[in-house]
Chain A
């Protein structure tokens, strides 16, 4: 399952990472290297073995749907890279 440069371009788009051409080439090489190591896992017989999602014996953890205090708007906007009085600001999306 060799990773091609085209696959890397696709993955970078999915991950929203604007990588340079040089880094895409390097990552292609690195991913193939890492996946070659990981390939020994593919050879393991896992017939009848259920995927393990969570190590402890717990399934859904429910709580009562009771409203609690939430972050005040001014707090939530404190770390914003750009904002208006009340909102996060980003470039216009619908032109």
Chain B
């Protein structure tokens, strides 16, 4: 991974170079066009912002993210610009307001360079379900970068930006981070306002950062997080960005290794890397504790009931009447609904709306939806028990490294199972970060995941920093 633009620390101290860094960034994105990471560039907006930030610093304003250039997944709103969600139904939609997370980053001096590709409405694990065509893995173009936030992961992995925003509902930031060899943090549920994030599974969704290291992910999290009056589920948890950044771990930790996450179905090289990291942390003075999270094996099933149920409800707003794609040949209002939705949504989105509507429909609500909510409490209970014995949990992020484009697109269940290790953290609402920690024999990146109790985002990133130090960055 080579950064194609000057480091943000350099730009922070030389803000006068920001306008030229923006040009360099735009050129690098142009050269990397075949990767298909970006779907919409905000060139003029970024140029304007660069001049503004460069001048503002002359007046001594406090801009902690001055110099940082970011990409944003195209399901996060920026006023007056594309918010396609990689869907035909929102292809020409222009956002009417800006997401709180983005507004806070820009206020802190960050520059948003463009919007990135994703699986339609964040539904997918490969960045193939998109009207813009698939995004390619930067190290092997025949492979997927993971998803759904594949474009943002690639933008960081290819060195085109310093950091990027994605959204993580079931692993959509951690899985592509692991595939592409970058850091991906899913914050504690409620830590970051969802205002301006197009809703998928509202009880699971979090805006989540990609970065090349844990220190940068921490900076982005601290600036964009915190209570927001526009999102009543945002948590009133104090949030500030210390000038010294993320401090080194000062204490010895008890690190849990969940045996269920290291059993069958896991690529042997990934299991080996997880154990290597565990041994490294033990050598550094931490204690390893074997733990059990028996209900985690049910997480994918629970997730696909709850996430699709919430999605079927959230996506009811796309009716072709007020905004978005309308099938103009439809002659009645009913036909506008049914034809605009059938023609506007892609195959995977239609499939999930069908599944979600089914599990919420009369006669099945208790059997599926309510049941899944009960099992969700058991999944959370596993974690609460575990965090009585250990401080953090170390696990694989994904069962395999990046797979081939087309390999799983016709087998929804196989695709869903690439989220087997990431969905538990969403169901439990706990923070989890994927950190690059090795490569397989094909030289494809391997990520390890650190999970912690609610609001321990800083702690898991500190552990992530230790892992970066132990293994050296990829």
Interface of B (DSSP majority class): helix
Complex Cα gap A42–B375 (Å): 9
Q: Which chain A positions have C-beta within 8 A of B27?
A: none
Residue of A nearest to B231 (CB): A61
Residue of chain A at shortest CB distance from B337: A16
Give the Cβ gap from A8 to chain B, nearest Cβ, in Å: 7
B32 in contact (CB, < 8 A): no
Name B373's contact: one of A15, A19, A52, A81 (CB within 8 Å).
A52
User: In this complex, what residue of A is CB-closest to B298?
Assistant: A41
Known: A7-B358, A18-B339, A55-B429. A46 touches B378 (CB 8 A): yes
Given A16-B337, A54-B233, A90-B336, does the pair A49, B377 have CB atoms closer than 8 Å?
yes
Q: C-beta contact mask, A3-33 vs B, less than 8 Å → 1, else 0? A: 1000110111011111110010001001101
Q: How far is the CA of A55 from the CA of B408 in the complex (A)?
A: 31
Asked whether A19 and B342 contact (CB < 8 A) given A14-B361, A38-B301, A51-B373, the answer is yes
Total contacting residues, chain B, CB less than 8 A: 72
The reply on A65 being an interface residue by CB < 8 A is no
Residue contact B374 to A81, C-beta cutoff 8 Å: no
Stretch from B16-24, B40-48, B177-185, B315-323 at the A interface: B315-323
Given A16-B337, A81-B323, A90-B333, CB of A46 within 8 Å of CB of B350: no
- The contact of A90 among B321, B361, B373, B378, by CB within 8 Å, is B321
Could you tell me if B353 and A52 are in contact, using CB atoms closer than 8 angstroms?
A: no
Number of residues of chain A lying within 8 A (CB) of chain B: 50
Chain A's nearest CB lies how many Å from the CB of B321? 5
B332 in contact (CB, < 8 A): yes
* Distance of A81 Cα from B412 Cα, bound (Å): 32
**B198 smallest CB distance to A (angstroms):** 14
Once the chains are docked, how many angstroms separate the CA of A23 from the CA of B353? 13
- Residue contact B361 to A52, C-beta cutoff 8 Å: no
B189 cross-chain contacts in A, Cβ below 8 A = 55-56
Write out the residue numbers on chain B whose beta carbons fall within 8 Å of the beta carbon of A7: 358
Interface string of B414-445 (1 = CB under 8 A from A): 00100000000001110000000000000000
Tell yes or no: B229 within 8 A of A by CB.
Answer: yes
| Residue in A closest to B93 when the chains form the complex, CB atoms | A79
The 0/1 profile, CB within 8 Å of B marked 1, for residues 46-70 of chain A is 1001111111101001010000000
What mask results when residues 68 to 95 of chain B are scored 1 for a CB within 8 Å of chain A, else 0? 0000000000000000000000001110
The answer to whether B454 touches A91 (Cβ under 8 A) is no
Q: Quick check: is B13 within 8 A (CB to CB) of the other chain?
A: no
Interface of chain A, main secondary structure: loop
Cα A34 to Cα B416 in complex, Å, equals 10
B141 to chain A, nearest CB (A): 29
B301 touches which one: A27, A37, A54 (CB < 8 A)? A37
Chain B minimum-CB-distance residue to A20: B342
Question: Does A78 interact with chain B (Cβ within 8 Å)?
Answer: yes
Are B367 and A42 interface neighbours, CB within 8 A?
A: yes
Instruction: Give complex CA distance A16, B343 in Å.
Output: 12
The answer to the question of A2 belonging to the interface, with a C-beta cut-off of 8 Å to chain B, is: no
Q: What is the 8 Å Cβ interface bit string for chain B, positions 286-320, against chain A (1 contact, 0 not)?
A: 00000000010010111011000000100010011
Question: Are the CB atoms of B351 and A11 closer together than 8 Å?
Answer: no
Q: B51 an interface residue at 8 Å Cβ cutoff?
A: no
**Is the beta-carbon distance between A78 and B96 smaller than 8 angstroms?**
yes
Would you call B367 and A27 a contact (CB within 8 A)? no
B194: interface (CB < 8 Å): no
Q: B353–A40 contact, CB under 8 A?
A: no
Cross-chain contact of A52 among B235, B304, B316, B374 (Cβ < 8 A)? B374
Q: Within residues 37 to 61 of chain B, which ones have a CB less than 8 A from any CB in chain A?
A: none
Complex contacts, A90 vs chain B, CB 8 Å:
321, 333, 336
Cα-based distance from A42 to B299 in the complex (angstroms): 13
Q: Assess the B412–A41 pair: CB atoms within 8 A.
A: no
CB distance from B126 to the nearest CB of A (A): 17
Q: Check if A85 is an interface residue, CB within 8 A of chain B.
A: no
Would you call B137 an interface residue if the criterion is a C-beta within 8 Å of the partner chain's C-beta atoms? Answer: no
Q: Is the Cβ of B378 less than 8 Å from the Cβ of A17?
A: no
A18 to chain B, nearest CB (A): 4
Report yes or no: B412 in contact with A91, Cβ–Cβ below 8 A.
no
Q: Chain B contacts of A8 at CB under 8 A?
A: 354
Q: Which are the 8 A-B pairs with shortest beta-carbon distances?
A: A55-B429, A51-B373, A18-B338, A81-B326, A79-B323, A46-B374, A52-B377, A61-B232
A1-B364, A23-B350 given. 19 additional CB < 8 A pairs? A7-B358, A8-B354, A15-B341, A15-B357, A16-B316, A17-B350, A20-B342, A38-B304, A40-B298, A44-B295, A44-B375, A46-B374, A50-B377, A52-B374, A58-B233, A79-B94, A81-B323, A91-B332, A93-B333
A-B contact pairs, 25 of them (CB 8 A): A8-B354, A14-B361, A17-B353, A18-B335, A18-B342, A19-B342, A27-B350, A33-B413, A34-B304, A34-B413, A38-B368, A44-B295, A52-B377, A55-B428, A56-B189, A56-B429, A61-B232, A63-B232, A78-B94, A81-B325, A91-B330, A91-B331, A91-B332, A91-B333, A93-B332
**What residues of chain B have their CB less than 8 Å away from a CB belonging to chain A?**
92-94, 96, 189-190, 203, 229, 232-233, 235, 295, 298, 300-302, 304-305, 312, 316, 319-326, 328, 330-339, 341-343, 345, 347, 350-351, 353-355, 357-358, 361, 364, 367-368, 370-378, 380, 412-413, 416, 427-429, 454
